[in-house]
A and B are shown apart, each in its own frame.
Chain A
Amino acid sequence: MQEWEYDPPPDIDESMAETLQNFPREPKMLPYTIRSIASLILRGWMRTYHRLQIEGRENLPDSGSFVLACNHTSHLDTLCMMCAVPLAKIHRTFPAAAADYFFSSLPRSAISAILINALPFDRKAKGAESLAVCAKLLENKGNILVIFPEGTRTTTGEMGRFRSGIGRLVVGTDLAVLPCHLEGGLRAWPKGKMVPRPRKLRLRIGEAQSYGHLEKKSESVRAICRDLEERVGSLGRQHE
């Protein structure tokens, strides 16, 4: 009789706190169920409380992996982006979230990993490593990376400079990047406030860009960042 092949998961000896920090995560039934239900509730909430309006959904590619790059005004940004992707892809949508904030304690990790499906991104020491994780993620077909290239929330309403990470991630690849602009986040949930206020939110998704024609050089990285920054900014001006 041939031997059976068991495959115990690599994290079997790890505690829950450690498992939540791991990335990529194994698909698990309970988190998937919770996330699906939470996404449904979230959609209803955003539609009614914030009267979220999404324009440019048709720009989302049907297949393949892509990146959504959005301006960052509040925590609502991530939630709006989760509402923008089709519900069936919610488990393959990964908002990049600062590891030093969103994975700093067990309850935060649980919310980030289970409800948001966040990708722990190290903004400080291991930025390059985190970018490699993102690149690996996007190699698999059908994954969506949500990224805020400014790296932090704005406090003034002015959009900050885009950091080089997004450029380094997509330069010389066929990956599609969709510039997005969310308006109203700052008014609805400014940094430091405990609960969001019922203000209208408008999300505009731009056309897919691809930077496969550029060489992998630091000038092209800067050019990509400028280009995306400009595109996100002009989407923002279209709101008026």
Chain B
Amino acid sequence: MSIEQALQSDIFLTYVAIVAGLLVFAGAVLGTLYLLGKNVSAPARTYRGWLVMIPLVLGAIFLGREATIIGVTLLAIIGFKEFARATGLYNDWWMTSVVYLALGMLAAVSLAPDPRLEQYGWYGFFMALPVFVIAVILLIPILRNRTKGQLQGVSLAILGFIYFGWMFMHLGFLANAPHAYGYLLYLAFAVEINDIAAYTFGKMFGKRKLRDEISPNKTMAGFVGAFGVSMALPWLLWFSFPHFEPLHLILTGIIVGLGGQLGDLVISYIKRDIGIKDMGTTIKGHGGILDRVDSMIFVAPIFFHMARWFHGIA
């Protein structure tokens, strides 16, 4: 991945065209509704959020492998910070420092070349890192000779690192793949489409709640509709990964369709348990970073290992 390759990549340019087209279309719809006298302030705020986020994501991918990995790392850092703040782990500077450091390590091994194989991305270290990080987190209470509340702190730090850091940052490691443009752009696009489809189908046909204790907004209809869209999408965007066989397309659909909504539900029950509405206020009209990237957390690592199993990553 580099700027020259991005300019020559049909996949990259096609996605830029698709996304730009969709943005113009959505803007035109919003403008028409506004002129018809409808109240569009809430969707307009969400739309402005997109206008900021999409260029940032496309810009990072355009700039290449390093920018993409650093961008994903920044998202993981902000995401973990939001989680730490919401749970109160934030007050424990030892735990949070170790996790921040570990996220930096994940970025470093994603960027570094493998010392034994001549390729970028130290896969073995990336996969082994949780062992060492969990060990260090578990040692913190011993180092400071304290017991009160330590189990909670250790558990939150491990969950924060594994879930919001390590699992999510598989997305950054994908930038080392030979088909990085297709993988990254497809995942980013499909996960958001999956989210939007769930919302739209839920609004239009939703009656039965999907999990009424966890989220009042998610419905059976939304889930089924989004899953259907996600199953169809790999066939429509087959050009993203021309080397995929039909089986892989079906798996991709299942991973995005199921994983996206599960990630959403996980953040929902975490927020419900803590008793907050949004994870933060980082993106206007969207809530925190975690409220936006939650659907990617399951999708990124499972898609990564599916793609690696069939086609290799480097």
A residues neighboring B (CB under 8 Å)? 4-9, 12-16, 27-29
Contacts and interface: CB of A to CB of B under 8 A. Distances in A.
Contacts of B88: 5-9
B85 A12 contact: yes
Interface of B: 85-88, 90-91, 93, 96-97, 152, 273-278, 280-281
A27 B92 CA distance: 11
B189 to A, nearest CB: 29
B152 A12 contact: no
B276 A8 contact: yes
Contact of A12 (B86, B91, B96): B86
A45 to B, nearest CB: 28
Residue from A5, A9, A12 with most neighbouring chain B CB atoms (10 Å) = A12
Contact of A13 (B90, B152, B278): B278
A6 B87 contact: yes
Contacts, number: 36
A29 B93 contact: yes
A27 B278 CA distance: 22
Contacts of A6: 86-88, 273-275
Given A7-B88, A9-B90, A12-B280, 20 more contacts: A4-B152, A5-B88, A6-B273, A6-B275, A7-B91, A8-B85, A8-B86, A8-B87, A8-B88, A8-B274, A12-B86, A13-B276, A13-B277, A15-B281, A16-B281, A27-B91, A28-B90, A29-B93, A29-B96, A29-B97
Contacts of B276: 8, 12-13
A16 B273 CA distance: 25
Nearest to B86: A8
A9 B85 contact: yes
Contacts of B278: 13
A187 B93 CA distance: 43
A4 B273 CA distance: 10
Contacts of A14: 281
Nearest to B87: A6
Contacts of B274: 6, 8
Contacts of B281: 13-16
Nearest to B278: A13
Closest 8 CB pairs of A and B: A7-B88, A6-B274, A8-B86, A15-B281, A6-B87, A6-B88, A4-B152, A8-B276
A84 to B, nearest CB: 27
Nearest to A15: B281
Contacts of A29: 93, 96-97
A9 B86 CA distance: 7
Nearest to B277: A13
14 contacts: A6-B86, A6-B275, A8-B87, A8-B274, A8-B276, A9-B88, A12-B85, A12-B276, A12-B280, A13-B278, A15-B281, A16-B281, A29-B93, A29-B96
B152 to A, nearest CB: 5
A143 B269 CA distance: 40
Contacts of B86: 6, 8, 12
A8 B280 CA distance: 11
A16 B280 CA distance: 10
Contacts of A5: 88
A200 to B, nearest CB: 39
B92 to A, nearest CB: 10
A7 B152 CA distance: 12
Contacts of A15: 281
A12 B271 CA distance: 12
A5 to B, nearest CB: 8
A13 B271 CA distance: 13
B41 to A, nearest CB: 17
Contacts of A4: 152
A104 B204 CA distance: 45
A7 to B, nearest CB: 4
B300 to A, nearest CB: 26
